[in-house]
Amino acid sequence: MWQVLSLLAAAAAASRHSFGGGFSAISASKVASSTASLDAPHAYGHAFSRPHDFTDDQIRSIAERFEIFTVEKKTGQNKYGPKSSLAATIGTAQRIKDINSNVKVLMYWNAAIHWNFYECESEVQESWLVKPKPRRGKPYYDYSEPAFREWWVQCAINSIQNSEGMLDGLFLDATPKVVSRRNGVNDPQVAQDLWLTMVSQIREALGESAILVNNGFFLGGRDPTRTKLAGDWAWVGSGTTYIESLSKRTSPEREIFHMRWIADASAANPSLRMIGRGDMSAGQVDDDPVFKFGLAKFLLVCASVKDSWFLATKNYDINANGGQLQQPTSVYLEGVGCGEPTASFVQHDFVLSRSFEHGTVTVDIEAGTGSISCGEAVSTLLREEGAASERF
């Protein structure tokens, strides 16, 4: 299986430039910024502000803390309008880049669900939608409709190309739902192939520099199979995957099943990019066991520390907890100090551990605890806020 996946990844890199020059450029600038940053993941940001727009202080915090930032749907409706998420995304990107032009800003774009928050969604026809069951929420896109597939691709392309350089790529949400048999295609393999073709068309139009991220793994599901995992096909197709809810708890057996699957896929394809999302107890990182648990789990499964990305947030609402930016700054990620992994994680009952160049990371899945014994301790990672700007 992994040999086949490796061949697919090589083909994707050659034909679609899946990994993108945008990531390569950021990695190069990170290496040049400081030796410490080689030992920790990059900091990824992702948030919305509803109903009001981001404040000036929030925009400045984003610009100073993150190298990649996704503007979530339905942002700033009081300023831009109820179905103007593209205008809001571009407007937010402009404000961020006015402060720091190096930040890469991504547009949220759902692969399965018709939210009807973006301007081009007014073009969606009823025949392109699968009506939801009673009390099941928004309709799904019908992948059996060629007109839908053409529209979805073209809207994504136009949004980036017509943003006057403000948008650098796409965050493709809900990719596991593409093969859920709820989108007009009963054969998951057919739905998978259609999605891959669509993403390939986007890549061809936007070029190597565009960043495409698929939200492909949700580690909190009740099903211990791949129901909550989009699979290697989506990861290879986009070049970058997002692992959501690393701090969520389920049964130890299911958590380990998911982690081992992702670790194996990551090890087989180290060139594929990975972004992990953890959690926070109350907007603070210092000695936060929830933050440590999610970050430690991420370090157990990533193929490379210096070429990976991490986000920790209570939720995506930037106005929660008194309007403070919740996501971790790059400064406390810089202090992890583990270096690169030297082996895959090993398992003893429900305790997983992994060796790194400068220490060891251990996770007790049953207890829900993580320990990062590398370089500087996580509890001493908070540094001066001004140091964050050194990365850019």
Sequential DSSP letters for 211-258: EEEEEEEETT-S-SSGGGB--HHHHHHHSEEEEE-TT----HHHHHHH
Q: Is residue 224 part of a domain?
A: yes
Task: Please choose, from the candidates 147, 272, 145, 159, the residue with its C-alpha nearest in 3D space to the C-alpha of residue 205.
Answer: 159
The boundaries of the domain holding residue 223 are 2-385
Q: Are 13 and 276 within 8 A, CB to CB?
A: no
One-letter amino acid for residue 234 of the chain: A
| Token pair of 193 as six digits | 């192939």
Task: Please choose, from the candidates 69, 68, 41, 70, the residue with its C-alpha nearest in 3D space to the C-alpha of residue 309.
Answer: 41
* Long-range CB contact pairs, 121-126, < 8 A, 24+: 121/83, 121/155, 122/83, 123/151, 123/155, 124/148, 124/151
Q: Is residue 318 part of a domain?
A: yes
Instruction: Tell me the per-residue pLDDT of 274-309, one tens digit each, with 9 for 90 and over.
Output: 999 988 776 556 667 888 899 999 999 999 998 899
Q: Is residue 153 part of a domain?
A: yes
Q: Are 277 and 246 within 8 A, CB to CB?
A: yes
- What three-state secondary structure class fits 198? helix
Residue indicated by tokens 């008194």: 322
Domain count, the chain: 1
> Partners of 229 in the beta sheet?
217
105: phi then psi, degrees, rounded to nearest 5: -110, 130
Q: Is residue 392 part of a domain?
A: no
Q: Is residue 390 part of a domain?
A: no
Q: Are 172 and 141 within 8 A, CB to CB?
A: no
371: phi then psi, degrees, rounded to nearest 5: -130, 125
Task: Show pLDDT as tens, one digit a residue, over the chain (392 residues).
Answer: 434 344 434 444 433 333 444 665 554 444 333 333 457 888 899 999 999 999 999 999 899 888 999 999 999 999 998 899 999 999 999 999 999 999 999 999 999 999 999 999 999 999 999 988 766 789 999 999 999 999 999 999 999 999 999 999 999 999 988 988 889 999 989 999 999 999 999 999 999 899 999 998 876 554 444 456 777 788 889 999 999 888 888 889 888 988 998 899 888 888 889 999 988 776 556 667 888 899 999 999 999 998 899 988 878 888 875 555 555 544 456 568 889 999 999 999 999 999 999 999 999 999 999 999 987 543 333 333 333 323 22
| Token pair of 184 as six digits | 């007009």
Q: Are 20 and 214 within 8 A, CB to CB?
A: no
Residue indicated by tokens 């990170």: 30
Q: Is residue 73 part of a domain?
A: yes
One-letter amino acid for residue 350 of the chain: F
Q: Is residue 133 part of a domain?
A: yes
CB within 8 Å of 327: residues ≥ 6 apart: 43, 44, 45, 46, 47, 65, 66, 311, 312, 313
Q: Which CATH number do you get for residue 12?
A: 3.20.20.70
